[in-house]
Amino acid sequence: MSDLQFVTVVTYGRTGSTVIQAALNALPGVLVRGENYAAFRGLQAYVQSVAETADRHHSGRPGHPWFGSAKLDPAEVVADLRRHVVTTVLRPRPATRWLGFKEIRYEPGHFASYDLLLSYLLFLDTLLPGLRYIVNVRDPESAARSGWWPDHGDPVAALTQTRDWLVDAVADVTAIKGPERAVLLDYDAWTGRPEVLSDAFASLGLPRDDAAVRAVVGERLTHGPTAGTSDPERGVE
């Protein structure tokens, strides 16, 4: 596990993120799993509770209300969770050198504030050290026209907020973690121009295969509620 490097795709629905996922999976030694309903958010809350207990209480006495807190080691808990996530959720193959996942659940309905979103992104780096963030956005009005948002009261407002949060997150992650850790992509900039994806991947240290990425971007996806329709958009999640 120590020789693995980690990457995540951070975005929202109908931004072409599945194409980015497929393009990453076309690169040698790269394995990026799909969405998991933001499963790791629960791990963040778990680790935070353990860390707060270990920080505030240090009892080994059986009659104490915080009995056992003296032996809590948050770093050990995180290491164990890392093994669990890698082994049971991300499941690398023998040839895997880059491992990760994509997630689209970053709208205000999932996070009550930008600070909570940023905190979660930074926790992911604790869980998966050295994590690279591929942050992908799209014009909110274009994304909102999708059939994925039929029951949302004001999808444009929600997606506008999400886009703004993700743009800010790239700047903040870079400021906190340093350069070459996060890259911002815009659907309108890379659709039809696969070299934009290749350049972005390479800027984070991922292996480069322009031909493989070009082939993936040229394919039309066949999943989702618009599959098999006359939807003119190519390669959109």
Q: What domains does the chain contain, in order, with CATH numbers? A: 5-39+77-217 (3.40.50.300)
Query: In this structure, which long-range contacts are made by residues 121-124, counting pairs with CB atoms below 8 Å and at least 24 apart in sequence?
Result: 121/10, 121/169, 121/173, 122/173, 122/176, 122/177, 123/40, 123/43, 123/44, 123/47, 124/8, 124/40
Q: With contact defined as beta carbons under 8 Å apart, do 9 and 91 qualify? A: no
The more confident residue out of 126 and 61 is: 126
Please name the helix (run of DSSP H) or strand (run of DSSP E) that holds residue 210, with its range, or none: helix 210-217
Name the pTM for this structure: 0.90
pLDDT, residue 147, reads: 64
Q: Is 112 helix (H, G, I), strand (E, B) or coil?
A: coil
Q: Is 108 helix (H, G, I), strand (E, B) or coil?
A: coil
User: Confidence class of residue 29 from pLDDT cuts 50, 70 and 90?
Assistant: very high
pLDDT tens column, 161-212 = 999 999 999 999 999 999 999 999 999 999 989 999 999 999 999 999 999 9
Which of 83, 81, 104 minimizes the C-alpha distance to 35?
A: 104
pLDDT at position 18 over 90: yes
CA distance 132 to 152: 31
CA distance 20 to 102: 9
